[in-house]
A and B are shown apart, each in its own frame.
Chain A
């Protein structure tokens, strides 16, 4: 008989169990999602009408910065690491992660990183106010003193991500059950394997760029200071060499989640499994060759501009393959529309819309009009919210019965879906229009020309926020008093994780299963 977890606080502090750590990652991410959401709602409240009503411009800039940082590094990335912790060992028939103590460390440094980051809000001069992309020299020579704490926090987050990535790669490559060849792995495992390589490749680049900032601020170097012979554009090249793969770090695991859910509820195997793997790998490789499309207006030479435009457009091909595969998976299936399926279908549709605006943005000459307007804000929120957030939500509904052994309330789940779906579109669709009409991003006040769309966005954002409170309630209610779940949970589910009891015992696959 396997021994169970320790009791009390020490269980969570000292745990090396992938399920415990996965849960902690997920709860931490949920908390950060609400924190980042509050920042977003402050932004939307200020933008509800033209004029300055609620916050000062400097605080507004702190909000846009903190919203971006907390959502990217605090909500989305830890959520996917949490899902990987829970699901990767169970999907490949491993007893735990390969490096359990490092797993504990990579989680437990995160709360400190974000406590440090959040504490800057209370410092003299305020929190970082230079945008989540922290372009130098606004983030160096002209930054508030808290930038140093921001740099340290980013270092810790990066260390956590790198350790998490190493752990996932070591687990997937070494701990698969006999017979689980690479091309038999569930797509979620594949997408995470590729994501982990991306993380290892680019997080050190991020660490490098913030260290160069640190040197510029405190040690008299001039990496990004033109007056000292440095180059502000260099910052952007380094940042986006990290930043663009980072975008895919936040979306590739989402592809994996959706590729697990759609076949389950279509009761039909995933269409084009191997082309999905190759498309994911192609997207990952291309992600290293397109970074300067974030910089079409910095004045690159013609040939640079053109090459980055073509490479960016090329990404549409593997991404298209994925969308076509999902649609074809649904085609001639036998579909039911439980909450995870609803979120996954919304993912496919809305992510594709985000892909369309991405294709438009890839066209360099047109980007001269789109760049740094609300059109861009609309674009990346369409890929991140229905992309990353909806897929994480779908994953929670899909696997929650396996985690806690209890079902969520289907009616409430569907209510959550429709509120979130309407709220999201009400918030972000009008941003396409205000952006095309000429509204720049990151401004606390605007001409009344943009007033109607902004009011609509603000109303939508509060609806979306309320929907997430309902989500929290649904999850807690399921854990406390949900109906008992079966081992298979879903009629159409396939894969090793559904062969263990619900809830999954503290230790699973202590003897490896046999995969044919």
Chain B
């Protein structure tokens, strides 16, 4: 049995715990704080964050406390007579030295965490992350040379964005092809960009690295808990900056291996498909799908573009001109348009070029086969 005084102490604790129950659902609608995350780095950062926060609270209570006290007591309406002091060397020294001490106390753990974050050595796995307007490319580097690479695009339908349909739980935080990583392994990210600066951020991992053209920066993570972790691009990168999320699936090693092997098989299948000849109908239909996924965000679903920024496909000089120029523009980009030669397979390029030359009122009647694209790329 607890003594009476101890029970009195425990009671508020129970009350506090009970009060927390509704707060759990409250927290999902009114999120207040940084998450602790699932890596040692994210937890250290969270700890630092809370430590500095409480220092600020303490300083705030003291400073604002004195301020409110003086505002209440030393007012003319209460008959306060002004004092005339205006200097005090001791006091001024004290309030210079104490903050310095507090800052040193803060700087020590911050430096330790910084050292930890910068230790990118001895990784088990390397993933090259490339930012594009407005998608991420993930390439799993393989010592055998059989790299796996794919693009990761937003899947939230336009109908949800324009409020025609209700928004799903992971609205704007869902992609077609998430990154998979094995748990318990040190994964090194090599981060770069192909066009403008992006920034790859997953809060739960405590990783944020700017993706900068011309640089390959390193970051790392070691996830302890399996799960799906979501983040977003955090550097303004143009029109669809708000629409290029990051999704990471952290899974057991076996599941990861199976997933990687599946990706490799798919890559081999695509290599085979390049050799096939497709019908116009096949090309057109696949091209329409490729267009809607990759081109429509700028050139719009009706091919009319945006005057002065994104040229129309309908009646465009390129889409109604020589085939070679058209393939060239799609593969290499130009005039502000990013190159698509890497992210689209030859089949997709052939399909989308065929589609653009025969849709939106364009009527060229020609069809481009995957092998034409392969030949174009080799002829460069």
> A271-B87, A316-B103, A366-B52 are contacts. A352–B63 as well, Cβ < 8 Å?
yes
* Residues of B76-97 contacting chain A, CB below 8 A: 76-77, 80-88, 91-92, 95-96
Nearest CB of chain A from residue B368's CB, rounded to whole Å? 28
- A125 at interface, CB cutoff 8 A: yes
Which residues of the other chain, B, contact A449 by a CB distance below 8 angstroms? Answer: 28-29, 31
Nearest CB of chain A from residue B158's CB, rounded to whole Å? 9
Complex: how many Å from CA A61 to CA B322? 36
> A50-B167, A360-B52 are contacts. A333–B113 as well, Cβ < 8 Å?
no
Which residues of the other chain, A, contact B196 by a CB distance below 8 angstroms? Answer: 135, 137-138, 141-142
Nearest CB of chain A from residue B241's CB, rounded to whole Å? 6
* Residues of B179-202 contacting chain A, CB below 8 A: 191, 195-197, 199, 201
* Stretch from A243-251, A377-385, A438-446, A508-516 contacting the other chain: A438-446
Looking at the complex, which one of B66, B114, B195 makes contact with A306 (CB distance below 8 Å)? Answer: B114
- B1 at interface, CB cutoff 8 A: no
- A482 at interface, CB cutoff 8 A: no
Which residues of the other chain, A, contact B71 by a CB distance below 8 angstroms? Answer: 330, 335, 337, 345
Complex: how many Å from CA A310 to CA B336? 40
Complex: how many Å from CA A325 to CA B309? 53
* Residues of A126-169 contacting chain B, CB below 8 A: 126, 129-131, 135, 137-138, 141-142, 144-145
Looking at the complex, which one of A51, A334, A336, A448 makes contact with B161 (CB distance below 8 Å)? Answer: A51
Looking at chain B's contact residues, the main secondary structure is mixed
Which residues of the other chain, A, contact B48 by a CB distance below 8 angstroms? Answer: 363, 365-366
B103 lies within 8 A of A448 (CB): no
- 0/1 interface trace, chain A 432-475, chain B, CB 8 Å (1 if under): 01101110111111111111110000000000000000000000
B239 lies within 8 A of A365 (CB): no
Which residues of the other chain, B, contact A333 by a CB distance below 8 angstroms? Answer: 70, 74, 80, 82-83
Which residues of the other chain, A, contact B172 by a CB distance below 8 angstroms? Answer: 445-447
Complex: how many Å from CA A348 to CA B68? 12
A130 lies within 8 A of B171 (CB): no
Chain B interface bracket (under 10, 10 to 19, 20 to 34, 35 or more): 35 or more
- A269 at interface, CB cutoff 8 A: yes
- 0/1 interface trace, chain A 312-326, chain B, CB 8 Å (1 if under): 011011001101100
* Stretch from B226-234, B254-262, B372-380 contacting the other chain: B226-234
Complex: how many Å from CA A129 to CA B196? 13
Which residues of the other chain, A, contact B100 by a CB distance below 8 angstroms? Answer: 317
- A297 at interface, CB cutoff 8 A: yes
A317 lies within 8 A of B96 (CB): yes
B241 lies within 8 A of A356 (CB): no
For A233, the closest partner residue in chain B by CB is: B212
* Stretch from B104-112, B283-291, B357-365 contacting the other chain: B104-112
- A267 at interface, CB cutoff 8 A: yes
Which residues of the other chain, A, contact B231 by a CB distance below 8 angstroms? Answer: 438
A231 lies within 8 A of B80 (CB): no
B243 lies within 8 A of A368 (CB): no
Which residues of the other chain, B, contact A310 by a CB distance below 8 angstroms? Answer: 107
Which residues of the other chain, A, contact B239 by a CB distance below 8 angstroms? Answer: 57-58, 61, 129
Nearest CB of chain A from residue B338's CB, rounded to whole Å? 9
B163 lies within 8 A of A142 (CB): no
B86 lies within 8 A of A269 (CB): yes
Complex: how many Å from CA A442 to CA B242? 8
A52 lies within 8 A of B161 (CB): yes
For A273, the closest partner residue in chain B by CB is: B86
> A57-B239, A368-B208 are contacts. A275–B92 as well, Cβ < 8 Å?
yes
* Residues of B275-331 contacting chain A, CB below 8 A: 306-309
Number of A-B contacts (CB under 8 A): 293
* Residues of A341-371 contacting chain B, CB below 8 A: 345, 348-349, 352-353, 356, 359-360, 363-366, 368-369, 371
- A487 at interface, CB cutoff 8 A: no
Which residues of the other chain, B, contact A272 by a CB distance below 8 angstroms? Answer: 86-87, 92
B86 lies within 8 A of A359 (CB): no
B60 lies within 8 A of A363 (CB): no
Nearest CB of chain B from residue A307's CB, rounded to whole Å? 11
* Residues of A106-132 contacting chain B, CB below 8 A: 123-126, 129-131
Nearest CB of chain A from residue B369's CB, rounded to whole Å? 31
Which residues of the other chain, A, contact B103 by a CB distance below 8 angstroms? Answer: 313-314, 316-317
Nearest CB of chain B from residue A291's CB, rounded to whole Å? 16
A369 lies within 8 A of B45 (CB): yes
* Residues of A375-406 contacting chain B, CB below 8 A: none
B243 lies within 8 A of A269 (CB): no
- B16 at interface, CB cutoff 8 A: no
Which residues of the other chain, B, contact A297 by a CB distance below 8 angstroms? Answer: 199, 208-210
For B219, the closest partner residue in chain A by CB is: A299
Nearest CB of chain A from residue B89's CB, rounded to whole Å? 9
- A96 at interface, CB cutoff 8 A: no
Which residues of the other chain, A, contact B59 by a CB distance below 8 angstroms? Answer: 356
Which residues of the other chain, B, contact A365 by a CB distance below 8 angstroms? Answer: 41, 44-45, 48, 110, 113-114, 117
Which residues of the other chain, A, contact B92 by a CB distance below 8 angstroms? Answer: 272, 275, 321
Nearest CB of chain B from residue A138's CB, rounded to whole Å? 4
Complex: how many Å from CA A433 to CA B28? 12
- A409 at interface, CB cutoff 8 A: no
- 0/1 interface trace, chain B 130-173, chain A, CB 8 Å (1 if under): 00010000000000000000000000000011110001001111
Complex: how many Å from CA A336 to CA B236? 46
* Residues of B200-234 contacting chain A, CB below 8 A: 201, 203, 206-210, 212-215, 217-218, 231-234
Which residues of the other chain, A, contact B44 by a CB distance below 8 angstroms? Answer: 365
B49 lies within 8 A of A369 (CB): yes
Which residues of the other chain, B, contact A337 by a CB distance below 8 angstroms? Answer: 71, 75
> A297-B208, A320-B99, A452-B29 are contacts. A330–B67 as well, Cβ < 8 Å?
yes
- B20 at interface, CB cutoff 8 A: no
Which residues of the other chain, A, contact B171 by a CB distance below 8 angstroms? Answer: 50, 447-448
Complex: how many Å from CA A233 to CA B192? 12
For A332, the closest partner residue in chain B by CB is: B83
Of A144, A233, A332, A348, chain B has the most CB atoms within 10 Å of the CB of A332
Looking at the complex, which one of A145, A233, A324, A334 makes contact with B76 (CB distance below 8 Å)? Answer: A334
B75 lies within 8 A of A142 (CB): no
Complex: how many Å from CA A227 to CA B196? 11
A440 lies within 8 A of B52 (CB): no
Which residues of the other chain, A, contact B35 by a CB distance below 8 angstroms? Answer: 437-438
- A309 at interface, CB cutoff 8 A: yes
Complex: how many Å from CA A310 to CA B111? 9
- List, sorted by A's number, 12 A–B pairs whose CB atoms are closer than 8 Å: A137-B197, A226-B213, A268-B83, A268-B84, A297-B210, A299-B209, A309-B110, A332-B74, A334-B75, A345-B71, A352-B63, A368-B117
A-B pairs with the 3 shortest C-beta distances?
A226-B214, A443-B242, A124-B308
